[in-house]
Chains A and B, each alone.
Chain A
Amino acid sequence: MHSDRASTKLKVAAGLGLSFMHLPIILIFIYAFTTEDKSYQWPPPGLTLKWFEVTWNRPDVWEALTLSLKVASISTIIALILGTLCAAAVSRSRFFGREAISLLVILPIALPGIVTGISLRSAFNIADIPFSFWTIVLGHATFCIVVVYNNAVARFRRTSGSLIEASMDLGATSFQTFRHVILPNISTALLAGGMLAFALSFDEVIVTTFTAGQQQTLPIWMLEELVRPRQRPVTNVVAMIVVLVTFLPILGAYYLTRGTDTVAGQGK
């Protein structure tokens, strides 16, 4: 086997694999324009833009979208603060319980979502906490911490400690050092981590079904439509929009961390 050229078999297998991953998503885009509204008929009998207008005028879609955006924003902010603090502590030094902390951060996504979900629900039950906006945020922030943490910890490791020492030697306080030396160094990693956390929260459904009560985030709305379809074309359009909305932060995170040792997004 010559070393610099892939064999045709490998190329075909890799190509087929990649198309297997993308064709279903492309199909979603086509179905958003179909004129058929009773079944999932292929090929679509005709194409139309009508369903975009119908979707635009649906208050339930807007409510779900607003709730999802709010939850994702607040969870991202909490995850950014906690994840960065955690990463700073873990990467700065070795201390008692360091391993335990790094395991604890990863646990919420290492264990199946249903475990996190039902745990939170039974805790809410025991503590008599009624379901609200904040119970959703509580769950989301918990599993978003790890995304920020992963990105921040990788960057902290690359940021040389002598930079911080130099800054302090030159008379800067810890806070000035943070503001003028550390923050510029880690900002793109944080931005990338934040974007991924946002995408993760925006899309989360398993934990949310346990912590939302009667409220509907967009994924819950979607799930409801999947189980009991009411208006299929509207679901098609929403599906397409959701794909587009999640692609933007991912592309953003990719371009922000491109060329560094750890590219964002690997640890979903």
Chain B
Amino acid sequence: MNDRALHTDRSGVLTRISDKLWRNPRLTILLLITLPALWLGIVYLGSLFALLVQSFFSIDEFSGLIIYEFTLKTYGELFTPANFDIIVRTVLMASAVTIAAAIVSFPIAYYAARYARGKWKAIFYLGVMLPLWSSYLVKVYSWKLILAKEGILNWLFETLHLSWLLEAYLSLPIVGGNSLSVSSTGTFLVFLYVWLPFMILPIQAALERVPPSMMEASGDLGATPQQSFRHVLLPLALPGVIAGSIFTFSLTLGDYIIPQIVGSSRRFIGQAVYAYQGTAGNIPLAAAFAVVPIVLMGGYLWVAKRMGAFDAL
């Protein structure tokens, strides 16, 4: 009975294909990789290339038609005061969100990495994971509810008799506005809320690799907790912070929905791209605008790589 198992028939078509594959690992790799490489190469790289090409065209100011000739004129338009303002504003917002996210994330990540055990570990893990994966639009929507004039935040200020404080804050230039939901503070809060989990996870991953004995050694050698934090923990956590900042920075740069729903009428890069390609029909300028985050992220990733951030991903 075992005879059959030992002398399996090696002449079937499938068997022959299988033998060939086993003898030719390169052929196997080629077969495995062809389909995904084609998909990503054609659909994704092809599209990116199409975008890049469009950004070198320009638009005829009178007819509104695209002139299919190589020019750098469209890129030049990025530096007109109005457009350059948009870029600066977006980068400032992305930086502010990134810094705030790092500060808010650190205690959560540190507690989860260092102290949470067993059941609490799972609670912290899901506690970060569920907001990360719950619907982006619903999260934005929830802030519309919170920041609305008749919403919970104003109610809270009123109940605590602190409305004057809120009003004083809103009368400030730049961060203020008519109400929280149309101020850049509102935009900032929503960005911070929506991207926060993207910062927590890499920091936590970096902190889990710091052996507790390091902190103990630092303490034994006479460092105060503040000194241990500053000179031992923070440098070791930095790659995680940078990894997280890649997400928060990149996501803020490209978002056009949050500032459209919560915020003032001052535009961000994403909104500019959306408006130029849509109603304005100026696809070359939209494409050139879309290249801005790519270039910024390219530079950012290059710096991050040099600081060793990718080891924490």
Contacts and interface: CB of A to CB of B under 8 A. Distances in A.
B290 A22 contact: no
Interface in B264-313: 270, 273-274, 277, 283, 286-287, 290, 293-294, 297, 301, 313
Interface stretch (B33-41, B78-86, B162-170, B234-242): B33-41
A46 to B, nearest CB: 15
Contacts of A116: 44, 47
A206 B132 contact: no
Interface in B179-202: 193, 196-198, 201
A190 interface: no
Interface residues of B, number: 103
B126 A27 contact: no
B133 A246 contact: yes
A72 interface: no
Contacts of B137: 203, 205, 219, 222-223, 226, 239, 242
Contact of A3 (B28, B201, B215, B260): B215
B91 to A, nearest CB: 13
B169 to A, nearest CB: 19
Nearest to B114: A6
Contacts of B138: 25, 28, 222, 239, 242-243
A173 B108 contact: no
B77 interface: no
Contact of A40 (B108, B110, B145, B294): B145
Interface in B128-180: 128-146, 148, 150-152, 155
Interface in B3-34: 5-6, 8, 14-15, 17-19, 21-22, 25-26, 28-29, 32-33
A17 B100 CA distance: 12
B84 to A, nearest CB: 19
Contacts of A85: 32-33, 35-36
Most buried by A among B133, B274, B277: B133
Contacts of B67: none
Interface string B196-233: 11100100010000001001100100000100100000
A42 B50 contact: no
Contact of A263 (B108, B125, B198): B125
A42 B142 CA distance: 13
A47 interface: no
Interface of B: 5-6, 8, 14-15, 17-19, 21-22, 25-26, 28-29, 32-33, 35-37, 39-41, 43-48, 50-51, 54, 104-105, 107-108, 110-112, 114-115, 124-146, 148, 150-152, 155, 193, 196-198, 201, 205, 212, 215-216, 219, 225, 228, 246, 250-251, 253-257, 260-261, 270, 273-274, 277, 283, 286-287, 290, 293-294, 297, 301, 313
Q: Lowest 8 CB-CB distances: which A-B pairs, in order?
A: A112-B254, A13-B107, A173-B18, A119-B47, A24-B142, A14-B111, A89-B32, A123-B47
Interface of A: 1, 3-7, 10-11, 13-14, 17-18, 20-22, 24-25, 27-28, 31, 39-43, 81-83, 85-86, 88-89, 92-93, 95, 101, 104-105, 107-108, 110-116, 118-123, 125-126, 138, 141-142, 145, 168, 171, 173-175, 196, 199, 203, 205-206, 209, 219, 222-223, 226-227, 235, 239, 242-243, 246-247, 250-251, 254, 263, 265-268
